[in-house]
Amino acid sequence: MEDCMKERIGFIGLGSMGAGMAANLLEKGWPLTIWVHRSRAAADRLLAAGATEAASPRKLAAACDVVILCVTGSREVEMLIKGPDGLAAAGTPLLIIDCSTSNPSSTTALAAELDAQGLILIDAPLARTPKEAAEGKLDVMVGGPAEAVARARPVLEAFAARVIHTGPSGSGHTMKLLNNFVSMGYSAIYSEALTLGAKAGLTPQVFNSVISGSRMDCGFYRAFFDFVLNRNENAQRFAIVNALKDMTYLASFAQAAGVANPIGASVRNGFATAVATGHGEKFVPALSDIIAGLNGVSLVEPTT
């Protein structure tokens, strides 16, 4: 009986996070329709498992009650919703769940605009990694009206271990930016500290022997240093160009709020330097190699 009452879910954004999230929805009995704009391989796996494919976002909206977006940011979200063949063009009432890391000011304005058209938009950005997405153990921060969040919660729990209602529309995306500010700030600090150490003859191995297991240790540190020490390219699958995008959103948010954020600006500029020097598609832990290289040192022990 419960399966008969499940809402029809649409999903757009089958990247490294979205593919695992969509698979969990399907495995847990949610009727799933997808629209593909990039990852054909993930789509084909989902279709083989019972998903349906829509020809456009508008047609997906017409076939669904709830649509989840897991794309890069605000520009992509606005195009998918407001474009000529977008979700809003279907003219059907929808609950749209934006799991992207978007600009809070865009989210708030878009939610109000859609509300006037009979559509509900809530922001539900994600924390953790593609591994947890596949395992159904993500953390989700949700901004929106309490009744909409309550409606979305069973859907979100298909791929999340923790669903935290952060407050009104836009608050989920604000919290996500703060989360990413802390994690990207760690990345910048680790990279600079390792470079300073290398200049003084201290290897990453020595650095790690002091920090690992101390009060400065944490899950983020361990993932970052899995790359630094073991050269595991997949330790943190988050592109530097997306880190810059998020820190740019943070700068916009701080400016709108009238808050001085000198540390945020410094972190953003570190990632901007990495992108400007051609390293945007590398994953975040590679920032350590980039900063070291710009300072004429290497964090990789020479093989002899």
Q: Which of 83, 110, 106 is nearest to 96 (CA)?
A: 110
Euclidean distance between CA atoms 222 and 230, whole angstroms: 11
Parallel, antiparallel, or unpaired: how do β-strands 126-127 and 138-143 relate? antiparallel
Amino acid at 252: S
Euclidean distance between CA atoms 130 and 235, whole angstroms: 10
Catalytic: 137?
Answer: no
In contact, 26 and 32? CB cutoff 8 Å? yes
Catalytic entry in 59, 176, 245, 282 = 176
Tokens of 34: 């997808």
Polymer length in residues for the chain? 304
Tokens of 253: 């948010």
Q: Which of 127, 125, 118 is nearest to 95 (CA)?
A: 118
Active-site annotation, residues: 176
